[in-house]
Amino acid sequence: MDISEIWHRLVDVQPDPPRWLVLGAAGIALLAVAVRPLWRLSRNVVTIAHEGGHGLVAVLTRRRLSGIRLHSDTSGLTLSSGPPTGPGMVLTAAAGYTAPSLLGLGGAALLASGHITALLWISIALLAGMLLMIRNAFGVVSVLATGGAFLAISWYGSTELQAAFAYLGVWFLLLAGVRPVVELQAKRRQGGARDSDADQLARLTGVGAILWVTLFLVLALACLLAGATWLVSGT
């Protein structure tokens, strides 16, 4: 396969999948988020998106990204250096809880316009970039497994399988963007998570942590509503 053929595969528009596939993917994604045993496993994907969001925004705001760690308890840590205050630090701290929903919204826009292959390959590129900054074994395995699934499906999967995988992933990000925010506030009410992203943002900006949690939740719900509309009815 030459470069021109690869480029055409990337930019070509794929046919719309049947409605049952779109809705079936939504149902499976909802189960992965709502059922606790499944959520304990699937939440690792959210952690990849969360920490990847921190890392990407740190780079875009010209902070020095030191590394990313992903843990088996679905927690994670992204280390960057630079000014301890200011817009760059605020945007980096705010990127974690917003990343899954925003990635889901971007994915929904691509799918609604028929760019299934482009979505899969962009995901592979983002995961490859993140892999370079992973600093622990569990994180390497998690990102490799996720990226390997995208690569195998995009290269060897049928058109229907690629569509099912892409829609499942986007539905999952849109739905899963909501639950961590709800869990965060539940922990905060119980006196935990006092060094959460919302609390760090409160110290950086002087705006109360509960307002940041509210902002995260509103954004997640807005992305879910817009993304679901695009996936079901198209743009």
Answer whether residue 88 is part of any domain: no
Answer whether residue 162 is part of any domain: yes
Answer whether residue 67 is part of any domain: no
Domain range for 112 is: 97-233
Whole-number pLDDT of residue 235:
47
Indicate the number of domains in the chain.
1
Whole-number pLDDT of residue 210:
95
Whole-number pLDDT of residue 226:
97
Taking the C-alpha atoms of residue 216 and residue 154, their distance in angstroms, rounded to an integer, is 32
C-alpha neighbours within 13 Å on the C-beta side of residue 70: 25
Whole-number pLDDT of residue 3:
67
Taking the C-alpha atoms of residue 220 and residue 182, their distance in angstroms, rounded to an integer, is 11
Residues contacting residue 42 through CB under 8 Å, at least 6 positions apart: 32, 33, 172, 176
**What are 196-205's pLDDT values in tens digits?**
999 999 999 9
Answer whether residue 133 is part of any domain: yes
Whole-number pLDDT of residue 9:
67
- A 10 A CB-CB count for 141 gives 13
Taking the C-alpha atoms of residue 150 and residue 148, their distance in angstroms, rounded to an integer, is 5
Answer whether residue 43 is part of any domain: no
Whole-number pLDDT of residue 6:
64
CA 57 to chain centre: 13
Answer whether residue 185 is part of any domain: yes
Task: Evaluate whether 133 touches 68 at the Cβ level (below 8 Å).
Answer: yes
Answer whether residue 108 is part of any domain: yes
**What are 75-126's pLDDT values in tens digits?**
999 999 999 999 999 999 999 999 999 999 999 999 999 999 999 999 999 9
Answer whether residue 25 is part of any domain: no
Element (H, E) at 201: helix 197-205
Whole-number pLDDT of residue 191:
84
Residue segments in the chain with a per-residue pLDDT below the cut of 70: 1-11, 234-235
3-class DSSP state of 75: coil
Burial class (CB in 10 A: 0-12, 13-18, 19+), 23: middle
